[in-house]
């Protein structure tokens, strides 16, 4: 049985989306990051004490993007999991890009708008993060012009991975009006039934 550990309010959300997109039967353990993930029994699964973690066929994986590429590679078919080495490298490229160029700024905004105690929040940090997001958003917008999806005309694990990161923007009111192609692409990705189903979980 495939098992996924982590609440949908964490990075586990993107792996829940991948499981739903692929139609994999799985058991979900909605561990939170404030206590459950630090318990000894979970540390045997992921010694880092973070979520998500995946158990599949007796093997354990952590790091959400690695989990998603494993799931796509094992359970997916082309075009969702591309056949060519070049396209698979582009999957990794865009997935890593989302984690390094987009996610840090969104997390800064989330922390300072929602999670930090009010006395510790910084409006200037939010403003700076929103400004910093403009450059990678423009890169995405430019790449998507003339394309339906990141790798061409088909929705792939690359789209799922990047859209899962960018979906955090809806929690903090990120404005993508200056990058309408990227906004339309994101709206299209997040309208998929698999995303709607995964986001309704705990």
Mean pLDDT of 147-165: 98
Is there a contact between 52 and 11 (Cβ–Cβ < 8 Å)?
yes
Query: What pLDDT is stored for residue 36 in this prediction?
Result: 87
Mean pLDDT of 18-26: 98
Judge whether 155 lies within some domain: yes
Query: What pLDDT is stored for residue 66 in this prediction?
Result: 98
The CA angle 19-23-28, to the nearest 5 degrees, is 45
97-125 residue pLDDT tens: 999 999 999 999 999 999 999 999 999 99
pLDDT, the chain, mean = 96
Distance in angstroms (rounded) separating the CA atoms of residues 1 and 102: 33
Query: What pLDDT is stored for residue 34 in this prediction?
Result: 73
DSSP labels, 67-134: HHHHHHHHH--TTTS-SSHHHHHHHHHHHHHIIIIIHHHHHHHHIIIIIS-GGG--HHHHHHHHHHHH
In this prediction, residue 190 has a pLDDT band, given cuts at 50, 70 and 90, of very high
| Residues 33 and 62 reside in one and the same domain | yes
Judge whether 174 lies within some domain: yes
In this prediction, residue 202 has a pLDDT band, given cuts at 50, 70 and 90, of confident
Domain final residue, candidates 17, 50, 76: 76
Query: What pLDDT is stored for residue 21 in this prediction?
Result: 98
SS3 content of the chain, % helix, strand, coil (to 5): 60, 10, 30
Judge whether 15 lies within some domain: yes
Q: How many contiguous H segments (helices) and E segments (strands) does the chain have? A: 9, 4
- Domain range for residue 161? 85-197
62-107 residue pLDDT tens: 999 999 999 999 999 999 999 999 999 999 999 999 999 999 999 9
Burial (0-12, 13-18, 19+ Cβ within 10 Å), 132: middle
Query: What pLDDT is stored for residue 33 in this prediction?
Result: 74
Judge whether 53 lies within some domain: yes
């Amino acid at each position: 049985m495939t098992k996924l550990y982590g609440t949908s309010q964490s990075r586990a959300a993107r792996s829940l989306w991948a499981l739903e997109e692929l139609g994999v039967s799985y058991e979900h353990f909605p561990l939170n990051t404030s206590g459950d993930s630090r318990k000894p029994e979970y540390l045997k699964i992921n010694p880092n004490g973070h979520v998500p973690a995946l158990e599949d066929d007796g093997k354990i994986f952590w790091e959400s993007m690695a989990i998603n590429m494993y799931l796509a590679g094992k359970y997916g078919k082309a075009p969702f999991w591309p056949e060519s080495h070049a396209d698979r490298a582009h999957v990794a490229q865009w997935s890593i890009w989302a984690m390094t160029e987009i996610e840090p700024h969104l997390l800064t905004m989330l922390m300072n708008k929602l999670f930090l105690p009010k006395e510790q929040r910084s409006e200037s940090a939010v403003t700076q993060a929103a400004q910093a997001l403009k450059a990678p958003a423009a890169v995405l917008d430019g790449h998507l012009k003339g394309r339906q999806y990141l790798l061409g005309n088909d929705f792939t694990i690359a789209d799922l991975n990047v859209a899962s990161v960018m979906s955090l923007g809806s929690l903090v009111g990120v404005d993508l009006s200056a990058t309408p192609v990227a906004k339309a692409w994101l709206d299209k990705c997040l309208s998929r039934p698999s995303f709607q189903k995964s986001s309704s979980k705990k």
